[in-house]
Amino acid sequence: MRAVFPGSFDPATQGHLNVVRRAAGMFDEVVVCVLTNPAKTGRLPLPERLALLGELTADLANVRVDSSAGRLLVDYCRAVGAGVVVRGVRGGGDLAHELPMAAANRDLSGIETLFLPADAGYGHISSTLVVAASQR
């Protein structure tokens, strides 16, 4: 089965990589899909995010990196033949944000969402925090 792990990955973190590695052990293929989030001001240009994720996942034979903009996640999943969306969650706030989207995706397409809880060592890390720390 093919899964999609979507996100802006701006920048990719060790927490993201942990989720990718764990998902790679569960699925035949994992597509890490870099999405453009119009609500966020991007730090890294899309080509840099794709290249970085490609380097970070190069040792995982069943992981590939792709991007999508301007369409629903479920439409992207259909286009690549994925039946599962993988989402990493750090805590209750993430889960509260993700649950309605998971329900909508299932209602729209039948695509399920698998929530992977953050590894204890990465639960406090977010891309926003990484960017803020790098600007100090």
For 114-129, b/e burial (b = at least 16 CB within 10 A) is eebebbeebeebebee
Q: What is the mean pLDDT of residues 107-118?
A: 94
Name, in order, each residue with C-beta under 8 angstroms of 65's C-beta and a sequence gap of 6 or more.
31, 32, 34, 50, 53, 54, 57
Q: For 2-134, CATH number?
A: 3.40.50.620
pLDDT in tens, 19-60: 999 999 999 999 999 998 677 777 899 999 999 999 999 999
H helical segments located in the chain: 14-24, 46-56, 73-80, 92-109, 127-134
Q: What is the mean pLDDT of residues 4-11?
A: 94
Selecting among 21, 78, 90, 106, the annotated active-site residue is 90
Q: What angle do CA 25, 27, 28 make, to 5 degrees?
A: 110
Q: What is the pLDDT of residue 41?
A: 72
Q: What is the pLDDT of residue 118?
A: 87
Q: Which residues are annotated as a binding site?
A: 8-9, 16, 40, 73, 87-90, 98, 122-128
Band of pLDDT at residue 121, cut at 50, 70 and 90:
low
The question of whether 134 is a catalytic residue gets the answer no
Q: Which residues are annotated as a binding site for substrate?
A: 8, 40, 73, 87
Band of pLDDT at residue 2, cut at 50, 70 and 90:
very high
Distance (Å) of CA 7 to CA 34, 73, 135, 136: 5, 10, 22, 25
pLDDT in tens, 66-76: 999 888 999 99
Q: What is the mean pLDDT of residues 105-120?
A: 92
Structure tokens at 98: 């993700």
When computed from its CA atoms, the radius of gyration of the chain, rounded to whole angstroms, is 14
Residue with the larger pLDDT of the pair 90 and 127: 90
Q: Give the global pTM.
A: 0.86
The question of whether 90 is a catalytic residue gets the answer yes
Q: Check whether 131 has a pLDDT greater than 50.
A: no
Torsion over CA: 64, 31, 116, 71 (sign): positive
